[in-house]
Amino acid sequence: MRKFIFTLSLALLATLIPRVSQADDNVPKADILDVVFNEDGSAYDASPMDNPIQVFGKDLIETYYSESYKRIIPKLFNPWGGTGQTYYKVDYENNQTFKDALANGHTLETLVMADYTLGSLPDSECKPFTSHQSGGTGLMVSTKANGANGSNEFAFLPCTGGSYHWVKSGVRPEPGIFYHLVGVWNKEEGKAYVYVNGELKATVDAPGDFTFPTAGSNWFGIGADPSGETGNTAWNGEVALARIYDAPLTAEQIAALYKQVETGPNYGQILKNSLDSINNLNETFPEGTNPGYYTTEVLAQYKAPYDDIAKRALDAIENGTSDDEYISLRTELLNAYAAIHEHANPMSDGYYYFINAYGEFKKLQDVEMAMCINADKELSWGPFDGNPLQLFKVTKLEDGNYSIQNVASGEFIGTKDGVSALVPMTATQTVPQTFTLLHSGQWNIANTENSRSYHTQSHNSGAGTGGRIVAWQAGVGTCSAWILNPVTDQEVIDRANELGPKEIAAAKLKALIVDAKAARDLANEYTPLITNANDADESCQISSNAKEPNEGTFANLIDKKFDTYFHSTYSMSEPVDYHNLQVDMLTPQSGIFFKMQPRNSSYMDFPNDVDIYATNDETLGKDANSSNESWTKVAHFDSGFPTDINSIYTSPSITFEEPYRYFRMVVLNTVSKRTNSNTGLPYYTLSEFQLYNSTPTANSQYNTLAGMKEACDA
């Protein structure tokens, strides 16, 4: 088993921590962007450009005032390299001055501290200050494959002449330590430079004109990288500053910048950062025989000494001690912590149930979810009940990795490259599978050709009941973490071998019944009630109290194109009530239902909790800002919503006690639960939306095909 032993000499520590000096009066000023963070988690731009700064996940961001740096610093909590939950956005899509500044040569500066489990830095890109997407520029952490020393390292990555240019620092981020990073692109020289703590680490050729990111991603993320509206490849840790200069700064100017942030080796603070990093994991040390668990003997031999060292470290932090003692305690602390992990129960051959570690499943549904195969023998997940389809056989291979075979089907887990790629099953063993212990008895399961862990697609934040397994990347307590439950009862194993084919056939029959119901629904044709969604037409049937002014239209909702969309507001302080979508049905209806589809690039902001209202009052029906209390509430839906981009949601039929002309849908929540940073209200996106009269049309097969009405109503 790999050992993580941490030894830190005074000389090495001094190279990792900035040293004391005075500020330089001749330090350059950031003229394009100079982010200043506020105590409440918001931020503003102190540069002459005064760029608006939008914050995502504001309520989740923690801040503190740093005496060392004389500024407020935010702590961002994101899955390392995953989808952003807490980050800042500086949009320059329509700011030509900003774009010209980048295009003529520029300098990026940031001061960051990484936060990750000691000894297990994930091998994925992670971006604290970038604007990438098929172009752009930024300061980031690379994968091992792109590191100068074959490790995850800080890098500057500008795109010029249509190509990315990796400027590799060779410096691996250690948790709990601040690093001052500067990236310079000099257009005139055709060169790019990266500096760490004031020292030039690398220079590469970067000729040609600056290549901007794709449309929709022309924004800088502080704590995440642009991916359209979403922040991805997110940073987990702290960001003390983020600045952009309209010039390629010189080595002397960068040295002056570094002097401004030099704080000296505060060894007590370094020890505290390490202790906090461990404590913030909220790690448990489960006792038992499962892989990743700990025997009673191991806990007695290694956990107790660690607890003693942690207590001595805390006493030293609170009461003070010498620098040598701080350094010695930190080394003892990290080595003792690593020793516990080194003696966790290893992975071994055998039969297993793979139980998903995402706690929201148990919290919301009081049930655990397990990996399995579905009726089509696809790798899937669903409620754990010990079904034979959920049993897997793990066998160690000669290369030290494993094969994973589903006992019921006899097929093996394979691979497919890419984020969110559906993980296939294969008739024979083809690709070695990997098990990586995180902590608290939880594992990432992946393979040698795609390091992203297997993940429960359509989890719906814990409300999902089943779906496919995809490749994703996230840590402890997420849908990408698994608990390995060994199965040693031979009767259970024999039952899986015997009943597996029957269970597959039963699941297939169940799927056919669902398909038959869908076919029956297709036999019914219904009259669409929205025919005019022209935003510029006064007779447009659709309105909303929260139409985003910068993107999306009502017309997109009925154009039958899934690459267009409507977006409720995320950039303004209004409205002050939940976002709605309102329809004038033109004539009173006795019964209706509606269909809607997620935006094709993301289902994350698809509604999954809505109230439905109706009225005949024309004044209310023409005013999307009228209060919900003035309308009649006719329905509430909070289940059955899809969580993938290819699904269409069809609501249950709504039968009115009296005919109504005006319809209103109020969105109470979405799949991602993302909110407008100014109001705290959830915003939503839809690619398609249509209302229908719930009575089949006269020329529907329901009414015209002999026997269809009887079959559908049976």
Give the model's pLDDT for residue 564: 87
Residue 503 falls within a domain, yes or no? Answer: no
Average pLDDT of the residues in 174-191: 94
Q: Compute the distance between CA of residue 127 and CA of residue 221 in angstroms, rounded to an integer.
A: 8
Residue 704 falls within a domain, yes or no? Answer: no
Average pLDDT of the residues in 30-56: 94
Give the model's pLDDT for residue 183: 98
Average pLDDT of the residues in 46-63: 92
pLDDT digits (tens, 9 = 90+) for 620-658: 999 999 999 999 999 999 988 876 666 789 999 999 999
CATH number, domain containing residue 433: 2.80.10.50
**Is residue 216 domain-shared with residue 274, that is, in the same domain?**
no
pTM for this entry: 0.52
Give the model's pLDDT for residue 153: 96
Among 249, 264, 279, residue at a domain's last position: 264
Average pLDDT of the residues in 33-58: 93
pLDDT grade for 685, boundaries at 50, 70 and 90: very high
Q: How many residues does the chain have?
A: 714
**Is residue 122 domain-shared with residue 246, that is, in the same domain?**
yes
**Is residue 260 domain-shared with residue 291, that is, in the same domain?**
no
Give the model's pLDDT for residue 265: 58
Residue 703 falls within a domain, yes or no? Answer: no
Q: Mean of the per-residue pLDDT values for the chain? A: 87
Segment among 286-290, 545-549, 665-669, 702-706 with least mean pLDDT: 702-706
CA distances from 318 to 69, 268, 304, 321, 434 (A): 21, 9, 21, 9, 42
CATH number, domain containing residue 594: 2.60.120.260
pLDDT at residue 501 greater than cutoff 90: no
pLDDT digits (tens, 9 = 90+) for 395-415: 999 999 999 999 988 899 998
Average pLDDT of the residues in 531-546: 94
**Is residue 182 domain-shared with residue 150, that is, in the same domain?**
yes
pLDDT at residue 208 greater than cutoff 90: yes
**Is residue 479 domain-shared with residue 394, that is, in the same domain?**
yes
pLDDT at residue 209 greater than cutoff 80: yes
Q: Between the ranges 24-28, 273-277, 671-675, 682-686, where is the mean pLDDT highest?
A: 682-686
Give the model's pLDDT for residue 20: 29
**Is residue 175 domain-shared with residue 250, that is, in the same domain?**
yes
Segment among 160-174, 474-488, 637-651 with least mean pLDDT: 637-651
Residue 610 falls within a domain, yes or no? Answer: yes
**Is residue 565 domain-shared with residue 671, that is, in the same domain?**
yes
Residue 354 falls within a domain, yes or no? Answer: yes
pLDDT at residue 6 greater than cutoff 60: no
Average pLDDT of the residues in 558-562: 87
Q: Identify which has the larger pLDDT, 213 or 117.
A: 213
Residue 264 identity: G
Give the model's pLDDT for residue 460: 80
Q: Compute the distance between CA of residue 584 and CA of residue 532 in angstroms, rounded to an integer.
A: 10
**What tokens were used for 67?**
């005496």
Segment among 78-92, 490-504, 555-569, 684-698 with least mean pLDDT: 490-504
**Is residue 51 domain-shared with residue 121, that is, in the same domain?**
yes
pLDDT at residue 14 greater than cutoff 60: no
**Is residue 378 domain-shared with residue 481, that is, in the same domain?**
yes
**Is residue 447 domain-shared with residue 321, that is, in the same domain?**
no
**What tokens were used for 55?**
């914050």
**Is residue 190 domain-shared with residue 333, that is, in the same domain?**
no
Among 322, 342, 362, residue at a domain's last position: 342
Number of compact structural domains in the chain: 4
Give the model's pLDDT for residue 25: 53
Q: Compute the distance between CA of residue 565 and CA of residue 550 in angstroms, rounded to an integer.
A: 12
Q: Give one DSSP letter per residue of 68-123, joined into a string.
A: TTTEEEEEE---TTS--SSEEEEE-TT-HHHHHHHHT-EEEEEEEEE---TT---S
Percentage of residues of the chain with pLDDT beyond 70: 87
| Contact by Cβ (8 Å): 336, 302 | yes
Residue 4 falls within a domain, yes or no? Answer: no
Average pLDDT of the residues in 423-436: 92
**Is residue 356 domain-shared with residue 322, that is, in the same domain?**
no
Residue 707 falls within a domain, yes or no? Answer: no
Domain span at 296: 268-342
CATH number, domain containing residue 79: 2.60.120.200
Residue 75 falls within a domain, yes or no? Answer: yes
